[in-house]
A and B are shown apart, each in its own frame.
Chain A
Amino acid sequence: DAGVTQSPTHLIKTRGQHVTLRCSPISGHKSVSWYQQVLGQGPQFIFQYYEKEERGRGNFPDRFSARQFPNYSSELNVNALLLGDSALYLCASSPGVGTWVTGELFFGEGSRLTVL
């Protein structure tokens, strides 16, 4: 079975540009979370979506936004890119209702964003 897939795997942008990152969860998973992982640090929570609704938001500026589609895939958008946005962006899915209490997140391999 396919795991969590993310695209693109690598991308380079310049300051002030916009970026869209995409995530397809494991089949049957209804919850998607986004994390930012700066080099040498642990992942930091950005958003969680379940059934197309935002269920949680981390301490990130409004330049960061996300959405979830009817097929449970998700996009993360970042506007007005800063050098400090350079990081690995991880998407994680979980089953959602019914197995909500399991807590396990299944991570993709991430999208590495470099802002010049």
Chain B
Amino acid sequence: GENVEQHPSTLSVQEGDSAVIKCTYSDSASNYFPWYKQELGKGPQLIIDIRSNVGEKKDQRIAVTLNKTAKHFSLHITETQPEDSAVYFCAASWNGGSQGNLIFGKGTKLSVKP
């Protein structure tokens, strides 16, 4: 089955710096790659996603890149702010995410220091 590896497990940056989180997946049939942000005491919330027919997607300060050949994808956050501090999860799905069965990485705890 699919396996998703996520690095680093913790990341500390200064406010205004960029943060990069990387994930690799094992199943070449995976075609949907979302990123979720989970704040303390809350459920995960989708922040950006990308499908296998696209190499890069941006939404304001957040961008995701996908390298299908290498089977890895990355989350880039620019101009980080203290409110970006949270746990970020990457995930992969082989069927476009339509079945609701995402395979998650173990998470990255991002701390943004003022």
Contact = CB atoms under 8 A, between A and B. Distances in A.
B41 interface: yes
Interface in A1-58: 4, 31-33, 40-45, 48, 55-56, 58
Question: Size band of the A side of the interface?
Answer: 20 to 34
B93 interface: yes
A58 B93 CA distance: 13
Nearest to A50: B100
Given A90-B43, A107-B43, A42 B100 contact: no
Contacts, number: 72
Interface string A75-108: 0000000000000001010100000111111111
Nearest to A107: B43
B7 to A, nearest CB: 13
B20 to A, nearest CB: 18
B101 A42 contact: no
B96 A110 contact: no
B104 A44 contact: yes
A43 B49 contact: no
B44 A56 contact: no
A65 to B, nearest CB: 17
Contact of B104 (A43, A102, A104): A43
Given A103-B34, A103-B93, A104-B34, A43 B101 contact: no
B45 interface: yes
A108 B41 CA distance: 10
A107 B49 contact: no
Top 9 closest pairs, chain A to chain B, by CB = A103-B97, A42-B104, A107-B43, A33-B100, A48-B100, A45-B101, A56-B101, A100-B98, A56-B99
Interface of B: 1, 4, 6, 32, 34, 36, 41-46, 49, 89, 91, 93, 96-107
Interface of A: 4, 31-33, 40-45, 48, 55-56, 58-59, 90, 92, 94, 100-110
Given A44-B104, A101-B97, 11 more contacts: A33-B100, A42-B89, A43-B104, A45-B101, A48-B101, A103-B32, A103-B98, A104-B34, A106-B46, A107-B36, A109-B41
